[in-house]
């Protein structure tokens, strides 16, 4: 079985400060890793994903995440956040040999204030 | 183009009643998924469909839950004899194909409240 742990349920941060949202997973086989974002009153959107290759992946709005196999982590980072980044962020995993359903963490609420 | 749509957006029902939730996937997407999100929890997988293949029902929490997908497009999730613990946001997603790496596109969800 696999599980996804998002270590922080809420992360308050000031505008233009750096942020890291933590995600750890447990799996005995290779995985595909995803970060989804849910802005207020909107549906879930894919932010970025790791499938293979370079362990550092980036989104178009300045977020990046690094796959660390030894630490089984896929933390999401941004060097300088904006008010508009306020949202719920979900880490998700698909096990390479156990199906196609996303296994989600409980989410981290990022609140950016001036 | 149009995204995944779900109806109704909100549903309030009394305990013991049956409810039907509808999902319209993105045109051309062959894979369709149902998840639910209970308050304070992450999203839980319920069921997925791929074309005309038998669905993977491994996530359905009880036999009160069922889903069908007609004509490989629209899907309906039915909950019979609803219980208060069924209160959640039910999310539908679709993807081009059933692979590990295909992006799943999510609908806005149906918020179900069982009184």
Decide if A30 touches B, using CB distance below 8 A. Answer: no
Task: Give the residue numbers spanning the domain of B18.
Answer: 5-95
Task: Give the residue numbers spanning the domain of A26.
Answer: 3-113
Decide if A49 touches B, using CB distance below 8 A. Answer: yes
For position B22, what pLDDT does the model report?
97
Please judge whether B42 and A104 are an interchain contact, meaning their C-beta atoms are less than 8 angstroms apart.
yes
For position B52, what pLDDT does the model report?
79
Note whether residue B103 is domain-resident.
Answer: no
| Residue B4 distance to chain A (closest CA, Å) | 10
Q: Is the pLDDT of residue B104 over 70?
A: yes
For position A100, what pLDDT does the model report?
79
Note whether residue B107 is domain-resident.
Answer: no
For position B61, what pLDDT does the model report?
93
* Rounded Cα–Cα distance for residues B66 and B70 (Å): 13
The set of residues, in sequence order, having a beta carbon less than 8 Å from that of B46 and lying 6+ positions away, is B33, B34, B35, B36, B59, B60, B61, B65, B67, B77, B90
Please judge whether A101 and B106 are an interchain contact, meaning their C-beta atoms are less than 8 angstroms apart.
no
Total number of domains in chain A: 1
For position A98, what pLDDT does the model report?
60
For position A9, what pLDDT does the model report?
93
Q: What is the CATH number of the domain that holds A88?
A: 2.60.40.10
Query: pLDDT tens per residue, chain A (114 residues)?
Result: 568 999 999 999 999 999 999 999 987 777 889 999 999 888 899 999 998 888 888 888 899 999 998 999 999 999 999 999 999 999 999 876 666 788 899 999 999 999
Q: Is the pLDDT of residue B67 over 70?
A: yes
The mean pLDDT of chain B is: 91
Mean pLDDT of B82-100: 89
Please judge whether B41 and A100 are an interchain contact, meaning their C-beta atoms are less than 8 angstroms apart.
no
Note whether residue B39 is domain-resident.
Answer: yes
| Residue A89 distance to chain B (closest CA, Å) | 11
Please judge whether A42 and B107 are an interchain contact, meaning their C-beta atoms are less than 8 angstroms apart.
no
Residue of B nearest to A109 (CA): B40
pLDDT tens digits for B7-53?
999 999 999 999 999 999 999 898 999 999 998 788 899 999 988 78
Q: Which residue has the higher pLDDT, B6 or B71?
A: B6
For position B72, what pLDDT does the model report?
76
Q: What is the CATH number of the domain that holds B60?
A: 2.60.40.10
For position A101, what pLDDT does the model report?
83
Q: What share of chain B is helix, strand, coil (3-state, %, to 5)?
A: 5, 45, 50
For position B1, what pLDDT does the model report?
57
| Residue B68 distance to chain A (closest CA, Å) | 17
* Rounded Cα–Cα distance for residues A12 and A113 (Å): 8
Note whether residue B42 is domain-resident.
Answer: yes
Note whether residue B109 is domain-resident.
Answer: no
pLDDT band at B85 (very low <50, low <70, confident <90, very high): very high
Please judge whether A106 and B104 are an interchain contact, meaning their C-beta atoms are less than 8 angstroms apart.
no
Size of interface A-B (CB pairs under 8 A): 61
Q: How many CB atoms lie within 10 A of CB A8?
A: 14
Please judge whether B42 and A44 are an interchain contact, meaning their C-beta atoms are less than 8 angstroms apart.
no
Total number of domains in chain B: 1
Q: How many residues does chain B have?
A: 115
């Amino acid at each position: 079985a696999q599980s996804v742990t998002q270590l922080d349920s809420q992360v308050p941060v000031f505008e233009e400060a750096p942020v890291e949202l933590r995600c750890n997973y447990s799996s005995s086989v290779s995985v595909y890793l995803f970060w989804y974002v849910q802005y207020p009153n909107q549906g879930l959107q894919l932010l970025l994903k790791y499938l293979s290759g370079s362990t550092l992946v980036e989104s178009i709005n300045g977020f990046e995440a690094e796959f660390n196999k030894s630490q089984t982590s896929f933390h999401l980072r941004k060097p300088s956040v904006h008010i508009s980044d306020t949202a719920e962020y979900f880490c998700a995993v698909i096990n390479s040999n156990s199906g196609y359903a996303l296994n989600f963490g409980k989410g981290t609420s990022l609140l950016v204030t001036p | 183009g149009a995204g995944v749509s779900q109806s109704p957006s909100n549903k309030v029902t009394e305990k013991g009643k049956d409810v039907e939730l509808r999902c319209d996937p993105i045109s051309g997407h062959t894979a369709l998924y149902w998840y639910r999100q209970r308050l304070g929890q992450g999203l839980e997988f319920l069921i997925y469909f791929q074309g005309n293949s038998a669905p993977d029902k491994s996530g359905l929490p009880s036999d009160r839950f069922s889903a069908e997908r007609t004509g490989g497009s629209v899907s309906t999730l039915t909950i019979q004899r609803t219980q208060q613990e069924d209160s959640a946001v039910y999310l539908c997603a679709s993807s081009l194909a059933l692979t590990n790496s295909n992006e799943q596109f999510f609908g806005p969800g149906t918020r179900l409240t069982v009184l």
